[in-house]
Structure 1
Amino acid sequence: MSLSEPELISLRRELHQIPEIGMEEYETQALLLQTIKKMPQTWLEIKTWKTAILVHVIGQNHNYTIGYRTDIDALPVTEATGLPYTSKHPGKMHACGHDIHMTVAIGVLSYFAEHQPTTNLTFIFQPAEENASGGKQLYDAGILDQWMPDEIYGLHDNPQLPAGVIGCCQGTLFAGTCEIHAHFIGKSGHAAFPQDANDMVVAGATFVTQIQTIVSRNIDPIQSGVVTLGHFSAGTIGNVIAGSAQIDGTIRALTQKNNLKIQQRVRKIAEAIAAGFECQLELDLHQGGYYPVENNPETTSAFIKYMKNTPGITFQETNPAMTGEDFGYLLAKIPGTMFWLGVDSPYSLHSEHMAPKEEAIQKGVAAITGFILQRQTEIN
C-alpha cells in the first residue's frame, strides 16, 4: 500500500530530527534508502552518488521520463521550535523545510511503486541545495545521464501560503543568485601619516557607494535585480589606517542575462576602484548552480491548468521571489516547473522557529500524484 498520512508524518518527524549540512547527509540518505527499500521493488531501480539517491520507476512506455526532484540537506541553524521531535544535531535544523520536501517525494514515490506509471519516472533525492550547488554537481557528474528526465518538477514549501495550497507562476519563480567576495589590499599605517599608507576603508566605502548605482542605472526598471553588501570588515583600531578591506554580498536577478550583467558591472567597478586607489584586488563572483528558476511555458501551463481545475486542490497564482534555489540549474538543462506548497507558518524560511503544518504533506502528495497521472495521459 502507498504510505498513509500517519506514516508520512512519522517519517517527516524522523527526518526532522537528523538534519545534516550539504554533502554530509549520511543519516538522511540511510533513512530514505531504508524507507524506499520497504516499497515493492518490481518497477524500481535505485542508485546512489555521494549522498544523493536516484530512483527510477520503469513505466509501461519506456520512451519518455518525467523527473521529480527533492532536496535533502539542512541549515546551520540552532532550532528553537520546542517541538518534541526537535533536531538531535546541535546547530543544525531543517529550517527551510526540506524534511517536508523529502516526505512529499517519498509519498509520491510510494504510490508509483504500487501502481506502474505509463511513462518512466526518475526521483532525485539531491544533496547540498543550500550550500554547494548540489543540483549542478549531480548533473555535471553525469549521474542522471542513464535516467535523464524529459521534463522535471520540484516544490518548495511556503510559510506564507495556507497549508496544502499549491502556488506557481509562469516565467521566473525564484531569482538567480551570485555571491560577491571582494578583498581590497592596500597598505596600513599610522593615522597621523596618511601619505605613507593606502587606506582601504576609503576604497571599500567607495566600492559600497558605487555598487548602489548598478540596479538603478543598468537594469530595466520593469525587471528586477538586487545587490546587497551585508559584510564589511576593515582595520583593527581607530588610529591605524586599514591596509585591507573585505566586503561580501549577494546579487539577485530574475533572469540569467541580468544576473550576468550585474556581475559584469560589479567586476568593472571593483577593478576601477582598485586602479584608482592603486591597490590590489581579489574578487570572487561565485554563482555556481544558483541560476534563476525559470519555469518552462509548456510544462507550467499544464501544471497550472491541472491545479486550477481539480476538485480538492486550492491553487494560488504567486509572484516571483528573490530567494535562490539551485533547481534553476536543472531547469536550465531540462524543461520543467517549480512550485510552492503552502505550510502556513508565522515564521519565515531559515528561521529557528520555522514549524510547517504537517497537514500540507498529504495534500501535496495527492496533488502531485494526480498531476503526474494526468501528465502521463497528455504525453501518451
Structure 2
Amino acid sequence: MSREQLVAETLQVRLTAIRRQLHEQPELSHEEFETTASIKRWLEEAGIRVIDYGLKTGVIAEVGGTRGDGGPIVAVRADIDALPIQEETGLPFASKVPGKMHACGHDFHTASIIGTALLLKEREAELAGTVRFLFQPAEEKAKGAQQLIRAGALAGVDAVFGLHNKPDLPVGTIGIKGGPLMAAADGFVVEVEGRGSHAAVPEAGLDPIVTAAHMITALQSIVSRNVSALDSAVISVTRLNAGTAWNIISDKAVFDGTLRTFGDEVRSVVRERFEQVVHGVAAAFATKAAVKWIEGPPAVRNDQKWAEAAIPIAEKLGYKVIAPIPSPAGEDFAFYLKETEGLFVFLGTDGPQEWHHPAFDLDESALPVAASFFAALADEALHKLSAQSRQGG
C-alpha cells in the first residue's frame, strides 16, 4: 500500500468515526454544546489552534499563518446543528436522542471540514497564509452565520468557502458554478380580520375564510405575471387556520407559507406585489389584513472567479465536476457572501432520500472527497491571493 493510499484509508476511518459520533448525538440550533465540546477536543488533539470568539456554541479554529508575514486569510465553513425529526434509518449509529436527527447532513459537513483541517495541519508550514475554520451553529434557523459575523469571524478574511451534501449526486461528483446556487428563503404570515356571524346568515358578517381563499388564489398569479420566464420564484401557502365550528363564520383567518427567489430585484418585486394583492383583496371584501414577513437568508450567489478557480482543482484530484441545478432551498452561507467573496459547492453523497427526510442518509466514502477538495482549494486560494497581493504591492 502506498503512503497516499494509507493516508486516504486512515482519513476515511477517522472521519467516519467522527461523523457517526455526531450523528448519534444530534443537537438543535443554539443547543450544540456537546457538539461544540467534541469539535474543540478533536481539533486540539491534532494540535490545531482554537480561537476564542466568545461563542456559546460553535468553534472557530485556524491553521497556517506561521511565516510571520501575515498573508491572506481564507475561511472554510461547516454547519453543526441538527433538526427536530425522528430518525427512521435503522442505522446502527442512528440518533440516540428522541425527536432529533442529523437529517440534513451537517454531521457530514462537520466531519469533512475537520478532515480538511487535519490535512492542512500536516503541511502548515507550506501554507501561504491562514485558513480559518468556521464550525457554525444554527444554520437551520438561519441565525448562525450572522452570529459569527457579528463576533468578528470574518475579520480579515479574503474569501470564504462552504459546501452542502447532495444526495442525488454520486460520490466523487462536485457541483460548481458561479452566480445563484441556492434561493433567498422568506416566510410570511397573513392575518385576515373579518366579522363573525352565524353560518346561516353570512350577510351579517364579513367572511375572512372566503377572503383568504381569494387571496391565496390571487397570489398564485404573481410569479406567472410579474417574474420573467428567464428568472424564477416560488410562492407556496402551506397552512390555513380558521373557524371553530361547522355553523359559525369565524372572525379571523390566518395563512402562512414561504417565498423563494434567486435575485434581489425579483425578491423585492414579488414581496411588493404580495402586499398589494393581500391588501387589495382584503379591501374588496371589506375586511382587513396584515402581512408579517419572516426574513430569511438572501440567495447564495457564488463569485465566478472562485468557481473558475475551483474546477481545475477538483479535476486534478480526479473528481467529476458538473454545473449544478440551483436549489430553491435556503442557506445562511449567503450572509458570508454579502461580506466577502467566495464559493459554495454541492458535493455528491449518493443518498437514498433528500434533505430533511426521516430516512436521510449518505455514502460516507464522500468524506475524504470533501476533505481533500477543500484542503486543495484553501491551499490554492492562499497562493492566488498572496500572488495578487505581491503584484498589487
- TM-score, normalised to structure 1, is 0.94
What is the CA-CA distance between 1:311 and the residue it aligns to?
Answer: 4.1
Partner of 1:287: 295
Is the counterpart of residue 134 in structure 1 residue 140 in structure 2?
Answer: no
CA distance in structure 2 between the partners assigned to 1:236 and 1:281 by the alignment: 20
CA distance in structure 2 between the partners assigned to 1:230 and 1:324 by the alignment: 17
Is the counterpart of residue 164 in structure 1 residue 176 in structure 2?
Answer: no
Code of the residue aligned with 2:131 in structure 1: it is: L
Consecutive aligned runs of 4 or more in structure 1 exceeding 3 Å deviation: 43-48
Partner of 2:39: 32
Of the three residues 112, 121, 136, the one matched with 2:131 is 121
Of the three residues 4, 16, 19, the one matched with 1:12 is 19
Question: In the superposition, relative to structure 1, how do residues 64 and 311 fare at CA in structure 2: closer, same or farther (>3 Å)?
Answer: closer
The DSSP-based 3-state class of the residue aligned with 1:63 is coil
Code of the residue aligned with 1:75 in structure 2: it is: L
Q: Per-residue CA shift, 1:327-349, capped at 9, x if unaligned?
A: 11111221111001111012111
CA distance in structure 1 between the partners assigned to 2:100 and 2:85 by the alignment: 5
Partner of 2:391: none
- Given that 1:203 and 1:273 are in contact with CA atoms closer than 8 Å, whether structure 2 keeps it comes out as yes
CA distance in structure 2 between the partners assigned to 1:243 and 1:44 by the alignment: 56
Partner of 1:94: 102
The DSSP-based 3-state class of the residue aligned with 1:35 is helix
What's the C-alpha RMSD, in Å, of the aligned pairs?
Answer: 1.7
- Given that 1:153 and 1:338 are in contact with CA atoms closer than 8 Å, whether structure 2 keeps it comes out as yes
- Given that 2:72 and 2:382 are in contact with CA atoms closer than 8 Å, whether structure 1 keeps it comes out as no
Partner of 1:70: 78
Code of the residue aligned with 2:152 in structure 1: it is: I
Q: Per-residue CA shift, 1:221-258, capped at 9, x if unaligned?
A: 11111111111111122221121111111111111221
- Given that 1:67 and 1:149 are in contact with CA atoms closer than 8 Å, whether structure 2 keeps it comes out as yes
Of the three residues 362, 369, 375, the one matched with 2:375 is 369
Code of the residue aligned with 2:165 in structure 1: it is: D
- Once the two structures are superposed, the pairs formed by residues 292-311 of structure 1 within 5 Å of their partners are 292-308=299-315, 310-311=316-317
Partner of 1:194: 202
Question: In the superposition, relative to structure 1, how do residues 283 and 29 fare at CA in structure 2: closer, same or farther (>3 Å)?
Answer: same
What is the CA-CA distance between 1:361 and the residue it aligns to?
Answer: 0.1
The DSSP-based 3-state class of the residue aligned with 2:113 is helix
Count of aligned pairs between the two proteins:
375
- Given that 1:188 and 1:240 are in contact with CA atoms closer than 8 Å, whether structure 2 keeps it comes out as yes
Partner of 1:235: 243
Partner of 1:153: 161
CA distance in structure 2 between the partners assigned to 1:193 and 1:220 by the alignment: 44
- Given that 1:49 and 1:143 are in contact with CA atoms closer than 8 Å, whether structure 2 keeps it comes out as no
* Percent of aligned pairs sharing the same letter: 32
- Given that 2:299 and 2:330 are in contact with CA atoms closer than 8 Å, whether structure 1 keeps it comes out as yes
Give the gaps of 5 or more residues in structure 2.
1-6, 387-393
Q: Per-residue CA shift, 1:292-347, capped at 9, x if unaligned?
A: 00001111111123223x14222222121111111111112211110011110121
Give the gaps of 5 or more residues in structure 1.
none
Question: In the superposition, relative to structure 1, how do residues 132 and 311 fare at CA in structure 2: closer, same or farther (>3 Å)?
Answer: closer
CA distance in structure 2 between the partners assigned to 1:13 and 1:40 by the alignment: 22
- Given that 2:184 and 2:300 are in contact with CA atoms closer than 8 Å, whether structure 1 keeps it comes out as yes
